[in-house]
Structure 1
Amino acid sequence: MGSGFTHGRINPETGLNSRLEDFMSTLARCIDRAIGKEANEEPVDLVIFGGDAFPDATPPPYVQQAFARQFRRLVDAQIPTVLLVGNHDQHSQGQGGASLCIYRTLGVPGFVVGDTLTTHHLPTRNGPVQVITLPWLTRSSLMTRKETHGLSLAEVNQLLTERLRVVLEAEVRRLNPDVPTILLAHLMADNATLGAERFLAVGKGFTLPMSLLTRPCFDYVALGHVHRHQNLNKTNDPPVIYPGSIERVDFSEEKEDKGYVIVELQRGKVEWEFCPLLVRKFSTIEVDTSKAKDPQAAIIKAIAKQEIEDAVVRLIYKIRSEQLDLIDTSALHEALSSAHTYTIHPELVSQLARPRVPELSASSSIDPMDALKTYLNNREDLQDIADLMMDAAQRLLADDEEELEEEEEEIEQKETVSASTENTQLRLL
């Protein structure tokens, strides 16, 4: 919550960015399902949150309040909740999840903050459950600089994985084999498909192998960090699930479904379902008008083909410099006015970027007039004056031949004079 503000606008009635209101509304629908707000729905026994509540560890108070207001409803409904600390929840200047640890500090009933690798034994309405919390880990949290000195990146990652495997194994050995077990982890799995988070933690974390997660002691593995919903273990023994983010953060998530996961959990048996949420649409309209006779009409037509009402839209059109005067920007704004927000990105097509005409390759020998004719045949925008250019070029070449003969005569005369005074000249560089 608190990200993607550039894709929103200020609501004059609330003073809040509309994208924050989108996140608030979507989170409210998730909590509605958790507490069983609809008459035909049973409340859940446990809510687990996979981390990254906010873009950073110190969100503005009004954003924190919006998050807390929804999770407070779980307290009122007496539904235990586990909040895992992700990489964005961790404070850059110290240990711990600054944005989430306030819930533990205040002693919020039924709330568990997972900022360490440990096992939580939680009672629920329908029996106990074990949740191993594995927060976002960095190299410095498992190893010292001295231990990694002289090692390659691959060797460091291997050493880190082995060290984590040992620590995790210690937790596994303390599990009650008769109680359902969930591994709740914020990490980058080695076979995950990435989205907007691909640049968010470069150099700060490390990738973990699936073998660390697909243990028979785990009935369900709930993962945070990756924004795209996916099941990494198609055999479902156990399911290894990224539910993904509940809202689109930017255009890299334009085609992703957003939602939450409902799990039916028993020891040795689990069923899960991804429940899509209706979220605001992101739409990209791309048009290449560089070859169009009427670029304005081509753009308007492309916009009309898209359902843009209340969507976040970006219009990208390619155009040549000589076509710029043919674009009526006010008409484009009018055509996009039904969108929630929109941006317009013209991309100038440079003639220098055009592929080299094969007939004009450096290895070929070609008459200048033939070269010009070939060039003009590949320039649709110059067809109206092509004949005039050919005539002008012919006259220039004729003049050049006459001037060349005169220059050659002058050079011969100068060389004759130079030869007679060669012994009296100083050669300077």
Structure 2
Amino acid sequence: MGVLRIAHTADYHLGVSLRGLSPVSEKGRIRIQDFLKQLDRIREFVLDRGCDFLVIAGDVFHTIRPNPYVFDEFAKFIRSLTVEKVQVVCIAGTHDQPRTETSEAYMKALEDVGAPNFYFFRKPGVITLKGNISGKKVRFLCLPYIPQTMFKPHEYISSVEQSIRRLLSEPVESYDYTVAVGHFYLEGAIIREHTPSYIGDIPLPLRLFNGFDASMMGHIHRHQFLTGKIVYAGSIERIDFGEEGEEKGFVYFEEYEGGLRGSFIRLPCRPMLTIPRDGFLELRGRRNYEAVLREYIRSLRGVEDAILRIKMRLDPSQVIPSRALEEALRSKKVFHWIIEVERVGGEAKPIEKKVFSLEDYFKHYVETVFKHRLDPETMRLVVSEGLKILKEED
């Protein structure tokens, strides 16, 4: 027998866009290619290393109904691996799992077709597969994302634990390794290093996943080993500025001294930068603030082809100098930029902070209307599930 090799990936979020960037625009299409190039790199690695399995731990697409081009490219990616006898084990994540009875995920189409060597799990399940290269048998416990709206924290944890016990108790032929594949928020996981995150999920205890040869997780976009055997692959590309500066990639598992040893494989990403790094560019009280802003942009280094978030502070009467800003950024060959403005009065008290998205309005609405009617935990769940439904119906 040969050496077992597994590539563990997660959180592709194919089809996600940037604020202010239409996916059908030229730059929108280029941004889609940023993600598809990562699939090319993953495929090349899997085939070059002779991996038996590719694991996708949820959130292939950013919505349950991606545009046809993105769906077709993913289907081609899967076929390019499965025809080479690589077996793909994929579970539904937060964005692959419908939230309403009338919704249906496109991922189900691949499942219904019965593509050979492709195994997709929308519900908890277990499967034992024999590697076509190594000949080793792996028992995969597949635990897709479970919506938490109807659960209290202790009930949710108990439900997941019961699913694991039930799957482990099912009759099974002999196997060499047991691998858990999940899409959860586990206790101790770092969500984001630089900014707070409103994930709203109930953290599961690590003890649920300690008994496996490897636990390959998705959902948290930051790559991290929680233990030597429990690991988040992280997302394959930076999704938003909460992931600024994070390395992206996947985890490569290889047999070593009777076990499975994982190592991080980095994927190159388009830079995401916040300008300035801390705080805001102070333009209040400047009569020539357009010239100040233009000169500030000219002084920037390392921003070519980058995605920038520019944070500026203005007086209530100052107008955002959009034309001057655009000219300066184009001269620096910046790929795309997002403007965040804070307007403050004379005593430096915020009187306006621009809200940019429907998601922001929804969160503000729920927190305002239900402030005194829901406990904080229930509030988090309402916002979390509501945002997921909004993304579904988008």
Q: Name the TM-score, length of structure 2 as normaliser.
A: 0.74
- Which whole-Å CA distance do the structure 1 matches of 2:94 and 2:341 have between them? 36
**Aligned residue in 2 for 1:131:** 140
Alignment of 1:305-316 (within 5 A): 305-316=300-311
Q: CA shift at 1:292, angstroms?
A: 6.2
**What is the CA deviation profile of residues 126-182 of structure 1, one whole-angstrom value per residue up to 9, with x for unaligned ones?**
121111100111347xxxx7xx7xxxxxxx321332243233123224466751111
1:180 to 174, 177, 189: 177
Residues 272, 7 of structure 1: alpha-carbon distance in 2 compared, 3 angstrom cutoff: farther
- Which whole-Å CA distance do the structure 2 matches of 1:315 and 1:345 have between them? 6
Alignment of 1:15-414 (within 5 A): 17-36=29-48, 42-94=49-101, 98-124=105-131, 125-126=133-134, 127-139=136-148, 156-174=152-170, 179-195=176-192, 198-199=197-198, 202=200, 206-215=202-211, 218-233=212-227, 236=228, 239-265=229-255, 268-286=258-276, 287-290=281-284, 295-296=289-290, 298-303=292-297, 304-320=299-315, 324=318, 329-337=322-330, 338-353=333-348
Residues 274, 185 of structure 1: alpha-carbon distance in 2 compared, 3 angstrom cutoff: same
Q: Radius of gyration: which is bigger?
A: 1
The question of whether the paired residues in 1 share the 8 Å contact of 2:128 and 2:175 is answered with no
Amino acid at match of 1:240: I
The question of whether the paired residues in 2 share the 8 Å contact of 1:8 and 1:340 is answered with no
Deviates more, 1:277-286 or 1:164-173: 164-173
Amino acid at match of 1:311: A
Q: CA shift at 1:96, angstroms?
A: 9.9
- Which whole-Å CA distance do the structure 2 matches of 1:248 and 1:16 have between them? 15
- Which whole-Å CA distance do the structure 2 matches of 1:314 and 1:78 have between them? 43
- Which whole-Å CA distance do the structure 2 matches of 1:220 and 1:232 have between them? 11
- Which whole-Å CA distance do the structure 2 matches of 1:206 and 1:108 have between them? 34
Amino acid at match of 2:74: F
Q: CA shift at 1:5, angstroms?
A: 4.1
- Which whole-Å CA distance do the structure 2 matches of 1:170 and 1:210 have between them? 18
- Which whole-Å CA distance do the structure 1 matches of 2:115 and 2:252 have between them? 24
Q: CA shift at 1:89, angstroms?
A: 0.6
Q: Percent identity?
A: 26
Q: CA shift at 1:8, angstroms?
A: 4.2
The question of whether the paired residues in 2 share the 8 Å contact of 1:180 and 1:268 is answered with no
- Which whole-Å CA distance do the structure 2 matches of 1:353 and 1:5 have between them? 30
The question of whether the paired residues in 1 share the 8 Å contact of 2:223 and 2:248 is answered with yes
For the residue of structure 1 that corresponds to 2:44, the secondary structure is helix
Greater share of helix: 1
Amino acid at match of 2:262: W
- Which whole-Å CA distance do the structure 2 matches of 1:131 and 1:106 have between them? 21
The question of whether the paired residues in 2 share the 8 Å contact of 1:228 and 1:243 is answered with yes
**What is the CA deviation profile of residues 329-383 of structure 1, one whole-angstrom value per residue up to 9, with x for unaligned ones?**
543322211111123344333114369xxxxxxxxxxxxxxxxxxxxxxxxxxxx
**What is the CA deviation profile of residues 261-283 of structure 1, one whole-angstrom value per residue up to 9, with x for unaligned ones?**
11113685121111111111111
The question of whether the paired residues in 2 share the 8 Å contact of 1:9 and 1:341 is answered with no
Q: CA shift at 1:111, angstroms?
A: 0.5
Q: Taking CA–CA contacts closer than 8 Å with sequence separation of 6 or more, which of the two structures ends up with the larger relative contact order?
A: 2
**What is the CA deviation profile of residues 67-88 of structure 1, one whole-angstrom value per residue up to 9, with x for unaligned ones?**
1121211122110001111121
Residues 197, 29 of structure 1: alpha-carbon distance in 2 compared, 3 angstrom cutoff: farther
Deviates more, 1:341-350 or 1:219-228: 341-350
For the residue of structure 2 that corresponds to 1:3, the secondary structure is coil
The question of whether the paired residues in 2 share the 8 Å contact of 1:7 and 1:312 is answered with no
For the residue of structure 2 that corresponds to 1:74, the secondary structure is helix
- Which whole-Å CA distance do the structure 1 matches of 2:24 and 2:62 have between them? 21
**What is the CA deviation profile of residues 101-144 of structure 1, one whole-angstrom value per residue up to 9, with x for unaligned ones?**
2222111110111222222111111121111100111347xxxx
Q: CA shift at 1:312, angstroms?
A: 1.0
Amino acid at match of 2:80: R
Superposed CA RMSD in Å reads 3.0
Q: CA shift at 1:288, angstroms?
A: 1.7
Q: List alignment gaps of at least 5 residues for structure 2.
A: 1-13, 351-394
- Which whole-Å CA distance do the structure 2 matches of 1:160 and 1:131 have between them? 22
Amino acid at match of 1:129: V
Amino acid at match of 1:187: F
- Which whole-Å CA distance do the structure 2 matches of 1:26 and 1:169 have between them? 35
**Aligned residue in 2 for 1:371:** none
- Which whole-Å CA distance do the structure 2 matches of 1:350 and 1:336 have between them? 28
Residues 160, 24 of structure 1: alpha-carbon distance in 2 compared, 3 angstrom cutoff: same
Q: How many residues are matched?
A: 325
